[in-house]
Amino acid sequence: MKAVITVTGKDTVGIIAMVSQECARYGVNIVDISQSVMREYFAMIMLVEIEGLSVAFADFAKALAEQGQGRGLDIRVMHEDIFNSMHRI
């Protein structure tokens, strides 16, 4: 079972480090990462495996969102099915 973590906001040092650290803490395995920086705007998309998640999905999403808020970043964790449903027939 996979989820997609998206991080958008102003680019600063250590964003990927912070998200990766949170993933490791909650037993989430990173499968793929893509990121781009346009002007100062940072957008990262991370595909993660959540089979080993040590807390409830909602708690993991909340923990990351709160980490993001402290740095002015919008961090969302969403089950991959919402993207598959919307964009694939």
Partner 1 sequence: MLNTNDILETIHMIREENLDIRTVTMGISLFDCVSDDPKRLEQKIYDKITGTAKNLVPVAEELEARYGIPIINKRISLTPISLVGGALSPEGYVRIAEVLERAAGNLGVNFIGGFSALVQKGMTVGARNLITAIPEALATTAHICSSVNVASTKAGINMDAVAEMGEVMKRAAFLTRENDSIGCAKLVVFANMPEDNPFMAGAVHGIGEPDCVINVGVSGPGVVASAIRREGACDFSRLADTIKKTAFKITRVGQLIAAAAAEKLGAPYGIVDLSLAPTPAVGDSVAYILEGMGLEKCGTHGTTAALAMLNDAVKKGGVMASSHVGGLSGAFIPVSEDAGMIAAAECGALSIEKLEAMTAVCSVGLDMIAVPGDTPASTLSAIIADEIAIGVINNKTTAVRLIPVYGKGVGENVEFGGLLGHAPVMKLSEYSSADFIARGGRIPAPIHSLRN
Binding site for partner 1 (CB under 8 A): 4, 6, 8, 32, 34, 36, 43, 45, 47, 57-58, 61-62, 74, 76-87
Query: Which one-letter DSSP state was computed for residue 28?
Result: P
Smallest distance from partner 1 to CB 3, Å: 9
Distance between CA atoms of residues 43 and 53, nearest Å: 24
Question: Which residue, 69 or 85, has its beta carbon nearer to partner 1?
Answer: 85
CA angle 2, 64, 1 (to 5 degrees): 10
Smallest distance from partner 1 to CB 75, Å: 11
Smallest distance from partner 1 to CB 13, Å: 23
The order of strands in the sheet holding 73-79 is: 29-38, 41-49, 2-10, 73-79
CA nearest to 19, candidates 48, 40, 41? 48
Question: Which residue, 16 or 45, has its beta carbon nearer to partner 1?
Answer: 45
Question: Which residue, 21 or 85, has its beta carbon nearer to partner 1?
Answer: 85
